[in-house]
Amino acid sequence: MTAHPALFKPLTLGEITLPNRIAMAPLTRNRAAAGNVPGPLTALYYTQRASVGLIISEATQISPMGQGYIATPGIHSAEQIAGWRTVTQSVHDAGGHMFLQLWHVGRISHTSLLPDGQAPVAPSAIRAASKTFTTNGFVDVSMPRALSIAEIEQTVADYRQAALNAIAAGFDGVEVHSANGYLIDQFLRDSSNQRSDAYGGSIENRTRFLREVVAAVSEAIGAQRVGVRFSPVSGFNDISDSAPQALFEAAVAQMQAIGIAYVHVIEGQTGGERDTAFDYAALRSHFKGVWMVNNGYDANMAETAIASGRADMVAIGRPLIANPDWLARIAHNAALNPLDQATMYGGDARGYTDYPVLGQ
């Protein structure tokens, strides 16, 4: 018997049944081919990890203006849809399930990455103290300009179309990326959103863009095919808010009203310290669907979270990069491969599809 029985219990997520409680967290790897198209190596990478209950794809831009880093995939062109269809078919053939993470970086971008060298867009013209990854390496992000009302409406439409494109590409659903200081998170936080119109000021106004995006996506593909990711206290990409508890409790309650399948919460600083001051139990009390947690979980922590009922699923990130058979390893108490940090971003098969599995 496995030492972690709770992790191997099936779970109903919307209209699909997952074989276990582990999700592969979205992990940017910067290996998209020309045109930001996922290629055969990407299909192999995800298929190797298809034993998890749910794969959440790397963040995938909904439009050319949504890109913030080199070699990240999109879901807005016919070639990108076709590339992703190869990935999802391979994952499904291996018995896996996969959601696409919908991404718009907002102000976390650089003019060299955007059409015609345009400035990045944001809720307000406030430059982030952050860097992004370009052909010249890591550089400071460019000064953004504020979106007009008409452009906000177009961006909502872009999210809706991207969700339809994801279903056309064979995904089981989508996760709306509302975390880590990217566009939706920028609208949510009072440090980055200083608008004076219907999208700024009060919590009700600052959550409006989130509501409109998630409602549009849910209407297009069905709410039970939709998840949303939040990072309530993370300062990643120079983001903060003066009252995160009230803000994110309101946001989660709105997701419950729309009826989405799951909420995915990063507990603490993204990839860093876990947070003990924020009341995650209060946050969860506003949502009746599947509750997914994330940030530095190992097998024992994940088992405790699921067995206690504190969470329904746990998203695992970097350990799944180095251990495509992570579930088999924890079931057999086998040692884990170490992660090669040097191959995290960009490159070829090395550090991407060549990690050994048990028996090799």
Cite the active site residues: 182
The half-sphere exposure of 328 on its side-chain side, counting CA atoms within 13 A, is 12
C-alpha closest to that of 59 among 185, 219, 247, 239: 185
The Cα–Cα gap between 167 and 191 comes to 35
Place of tokens 């799944």: 320
Q: Where are the alpha helices (DSSP H) in the chain?
A: 40-47, 78-93, 149-168, 183-188, 203-206, 208-221, 244-258, 280-284, 299-307, 318-322, 326-331
Query: For the stretch 182-207, what's the b/e string if a residue is b when 16 or more beta carbons lie within 10 angstroms of its beta carbon?
Result: bbbbbbbbbbbbebeeebbeebebbb
Q: How many CB atoms lie within 10 A of CB 358?
A: 12
Question: Helix %, strand %, coil % for the chain, to 5?
Answer: 35, 15, 45
First to last CA, the chain: 23
The Cα–Cα gap between 264 and 174 comes to 12
Show the 3-state SS of 263-320: EEEECCCCCCCCCCCCCHHHHHCCCCCEEEEECCCCHHHHHHHHHCCCCCEEEECHHH
Cβ atoms of residues 324 and 355 within 8 Å: yes
Cβ atoms of residues 85 and 360 within 8 Å: no
> Across the chain, which distance is largest between two alpha carbons, in Å?
60
Residue type, 39: G
- Pairing assessment for the beta strands 226-230 and 262-266 based on DSSP bridges: parallel
